[in-house]
Chains A and B, each alone.
Chain A
Amino acid sequence: MIAREGLWLNVGLVFAGLSFLTGLFGLVRGRERTSISRLLMGVSGVALLGAWILRWRSAGHVPLANQYESMVFLALGTAWASVFAGQGRSWVSMVSGVGVAVLLGVAALLHAPVEPLVPALQSNWLLIHVSITMLSYVAFVLAAISSAWLLLRKGKKGKGSPSDLDLDGFSYRTVGVGFLLLALGIATGAVWANEAWGTWWSWDPKETWALITWIAYAVTLHLRRSRGWRMRKFAWLCLAGLACVAFTYFGVNYLLSGLHSYAG
């Protein structure tokens, strides 16, 4: 079962890479949309979903109990977000291809064997809370990649490649979606905490950093709306937001201890 899971993950990685290459080829040829790259990303998404379901079957519980499993879910979410939200845009396939490859690479470094669930995680809220939170991270990662692109190319635009306005708009929309999903992730986490520990908020480091991330994105959206921080300024804010996400996701697990310490 584990060997087959690895095979499906590799298939997902290869097809995400192919999606990136066809997206790049489309951009070089001046094509704004490349349906083949969308199709390839769809195949990658199916393969990653297959790997995830195989893990679910062998573990006997939803595979979102440790960092490796949540990382694979992040890659899976990125692939599907690209298929549905990217609408075949060549540059979105490129951005998502990079995202899926990086996430699977990091997941490989964090590989963990299937383990039974600790008592605190034996709840239906595991699927709801963790999957929603992970999907918010997918949105923030995609926003950060398109923001980084906007910042790195310094206004130079090749034929067929997205305009600064496209990239800025994409970042804005994905941050909005991520902001909603993170609010839901925090809310479902609070409800679960109240069921498991008898308190909906305990200022545990994970909770605190999730709140920091949410406030950071609230400030980002308010600065854009009330102060007109768009384009490069907004892109910098998206990167700062991703730093908060990274600390919440990795930093808290490895550097701080608390009620979420089992998640490492």
Chain B
Amino acid sequence: MLPISDAREQLIPVMANRIWRKLGSPSLFFYIAGLLLAACVAGGVIPQGEDIQGMAGKWGQMAVHLVILTGLNEVFSQWWFSALLALLFLNLLFCSLQRWKTLHLGIWISHAGMLVVLLGGLVSVFLGERGQVGLEKGVPVSMAQGRHGEIKLPFALKLTDFRIEYHREAGHTLTMVKDGAETQVQLKQDIEVPLAGDLFVRLRQAFPDLAMTAEGPVNRSQTPNNPAIQVEVRQGVKVRKIWIFENYPLFYQQHQDAGMKMLPELYYAYSQPMIRQYVSTVEVQEGGKKVADAVLQVNKPFKWRGIKLFQSGYDLSHGTVSILQASRDPGVPLVYLGFLILPLGILWTLIRRSGS
């Protein structure tokens, strides 16, 4: 019988060897891949990073509680998901190291590519910074709103212009039906157009998603949930204002002033605009002085002092606000390198395999 100290001395290398073997084994890869697939399916189906209390009506309160309890609405930021990726990294690393003599070179290169991508991802998560910059016309801003608080930019941005360019602007078609005959006109803001006979119509206001509030009519969104227009109808010298709803045709007939002559049937059709581009023109300032001008569009970012700025959104409901995304990601070069190595490895494996 071995003394306890000797047994421990022999046990430690045996255990270490076993862990070393296990960490690089294909079996571990299958377990990790299975768990990753399950996590990704959950994360790919359950809305992520959103308030899912609103789903209670659809899924049931119990399911919503369960999702929140297990954190499945935040799968990709859970510690166990990061641990799975870390384990995958170790598995790939140990597998490649253990089999460096026997492993096909192409597979070895593919593994190396994956390792570099995972490493780049790690750098992106821990050292990268991202935030949104809301720019109001003429107001310099040097802070971005990140996920975990404000991020100070090494410069200030001032929006000088924001415009939306269209392939096709929103369309407002008015159809009049009288004695079985249809007359159709396209309406333009504040331009009077003849409808029929001595009847003229002028578009005053248009809303893709109208809501009537105590302050008056407001537009809830750009989604055409309740398209409506306010028009002036003129017959001779008589002018009256009416609301026409796409979803509630002839609503105006029920709300006409008593004693007024009935209008013919009018139907409104809204066609959505087709946006070509969002364009922000900004001034870059350092120490209160202008140092550069930049034009940002979707797919055309602007880089200044290591920070990339992207056209991300806009809000025209309270003045002109252009929303930019500011990003500094030192993991990107590693990720791109991994994206280069990985396919090369797979290609090399395919070529060698077809050759053999």
Interface residues of A (CB under 8 A from B): 115-116, 118-120, 122-123, 173, 176-177, 179-180, 183-184, 187, 190-191, 194-201, 203, 205, 208-209, 211-212, 215-216, 218-219, 222-223, 226-227, 252, 256
Contact = CB atoms under 8 A, between A and B. Distances in A.
B301 interface: yes
B220 to A, nearest CB: 19
Contact of B343 (A120, A180, A216): A180
Given A191-B339, A209-B44, A198 B308 contact: yes
A246 to B, nearest CB: 14
A21 B33 CA distance: 42
Given A180-B347, A187-B343, A212-B44, A116 B335 contact: no
A196 B298 CA distance: 6
Chain A contact residues, majority secondary structure:
helix
B285 interface: no
A198 B45 contact: no
B301 A195 contact: yes
Interface residues on B, range: 35 or more
A180 B298 contact: no
B297 A177 contact: no
A173 B355 CA distance: 12
B343 A119 contact: no
Nearest to A248: B44
B221 to A, nearest CB: 15
B310 interface: yes
A222 B298 contact: no
Interface stretch (B148-156, B202-210, B253-261, B325-333): B325-333
B158 interface: no
26 contacts: A115-B274, A118-B274, A119-B276, A122-B277, A123-B299, A173-B354, A177-B350, A180-B350, A187-B343, A195-B301, A197-B312, A198-B312, A198-B325, A199-B327, A200-B124, A200-B335, A201-B121, A201-B124, A203-B43, A209-B40, A209-B44, A215-B36, A219-B30, A219-B33, A222-B26, A227-B26
Given A203-B76, A212-B37, A198 B327 contact: yes
Interface string B298-309: 110100000011
Contacts of A211: 40
Interface of B: 26, 29-30, 33-34, 36-37, 40-41, 43-45, 48, 76, 121, 124, 130, 167-168, 274-278, 297-299, 301, 308-310, 312, 325-327, 329, 332, 335-336, 339, 342-343, 346-347, 349-350, 353-354
A118 B274 CA distance: 7
B191 to A, nearest CB: 25
Contacts of B349: 176
Chain B contact residues, majority secondary structure:
helix
A123 B45 CA distance: 28
A122 to B, nearest CB: 6
Nearest to B307: A198
Contact of A197 (B275, B325, B346): B325
Given A176-B353, A177-B350, A227-B26, 8 more contacts: A119-B275, A119-B277, A122-B299, A179-B346, A191-B336, A197-B312, A198-B308, A199-B327
Nearest to B29: A222
B279 to A, nearest CB: 10
B30 A198 contact: no
B152 to A, nearest CB: 18
Contacts of B299: 119-120, 122-123, 195-196
Contacts of B48: 203
Contacts of B37: 212, 215-216, 219
Contacts of B327: 198-199
A190 B343 CA distance: 14
A226 B335 contact: no
A199 B120 CA distance: 13
A120 B297 CA distance: 10
Given A208-B40, A219-B30, A119 B167 contact: no
Q: Among the interface residues A115, A200, A216, A223, which one has the most CB atoms of the partner chain B within 10 A?
A: A200
A198 B301 contact: yes
Contacts of B308: 198
Contacts of B298: 119-120, 122, 196
A218 B33 CA distance: 9
Given A177-B350, A180-B347, A203-B76, A119 B33 contact: no
Nearest to A205: B44
A118 B275 contact: yes
Contacts of A118: 274-275
A10 to B, nearest CB: 30
Nearest to A200: B335
A176 B350 contact: yes
The 8 closest A-B pairs by CB, nearest first: A187-B339, A119-B298, A198-B327, A116-B167, A208-B44, A226-B26, A198-B310, A198-B325
Contacts of B26: 222, 226-227
A118 B301 CA distance: 17
A183 B342 contact: yes
B76 A190 contact: no
B346 A116 contact: no
A116 B301 contact: no
Contact of A190 (B41, B335, B347): B335
A248 B18 CA distance: 39
A123 to B, nearest CB: 4
A124 to B, nearest CB: 9
